């Protein structure tokens, strides 16, 4: 099945690659290049999953998670951090902040769609 996935990413090359890989896996993609627009899209479009960089303009990824989780209009879906931050403790800090998953950049194209799909609700996973 196809999922609706929102990607919040300010790096054009990273956005293009993630979009290409997920569209090739038959998912519908929405994109935002900053945290404020990403939060607005997440609330308006109710995606099945959100991919969010941690270092984005206007609102960083942590602020995006706090804003969504604190909003009564938010329909809870997995939020996955995809980031270049890979120091000890970064993964734990992201999970503790409310992210459901954590992937580091550079992404591995051969497995990226599979990694993201593993976080989808069961009814959206391929049988």
Residue 52 belongs to what H/E stretch?
A: strand 49-52
Average pLDDT over all residues of the chain = 93
pLDDT at 86: 73
What would the mean pLDDT of 17-28 be, rounded to a whole number? 97
pLDDT tens sequence across 66-103: 999 999 999 889 999 998 877 788 899 999 999 999 99
Paired strand residues for 69 = none
pLDDT at 7: 98
At the topology level, CATH places domain 4-124 in: Rossmann fold (3.40.50)
What would the mean pLDDT of 90-117 be, rounded to a whole number? 94
Query: What are the structure tokens assigned to 98, written together?
Result: 């409310």
Highest mean predicted confidence (pLDDT) among 1-5, 111-115, 120-124: 111-115
Q: What is the DSSP letter of 12?
A: H
Residue 29 belongs to what H/E stretch?
A: strand 28-32
Residue 66 belongs to what H/E stretch?
A: helix 61-69
Paired strand residues for 32 = 8
Q: How do the domains of the chain map onto residue ranges?
A: 4-124
What would the mean pLDDT of 38-62 be, rounded to a whole number? 96
What would the mean pLDDT of 112-126 be, rounded to a whole number? 87
Kindly tell me if the per-residue pLDDT of 56 is higher than 60: yes
Could you give the C-alpha distances from 60 to 2, 10, 20, 38, 83, in angstroms and in order?
Answer: 28, 11, 24, 10, 11
Whether 6 contacts 119, CB under 8 Å: no
């Amino acid at each position: 099945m196809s999922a609706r996935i929102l990607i919040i990413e300010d790096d054009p090359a990273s956005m293009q690659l993630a979009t290409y890989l997920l569209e090739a896996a038959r998912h519908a993609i929405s994109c935002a290049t900053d945290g404020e627009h990403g939060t607005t899209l997440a609330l308006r479009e109710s995606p099945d999953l959100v991919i969010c960089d941690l270092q984005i303009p206007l609102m960083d990824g942590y602020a995006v998670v706090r804003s969504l989780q604190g909003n009564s209009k938010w329909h809870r879906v997995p939020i996955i951090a995809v980031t270049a931050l890979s120091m000890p403790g970064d993964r734990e800090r992201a999970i503790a902040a409310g992210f459901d998953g954590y992937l580091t950049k550079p992404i591995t194209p051969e497995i990226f769609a599979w990694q993201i799909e593993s976080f989808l609700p069961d009814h959206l996973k391929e049988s």
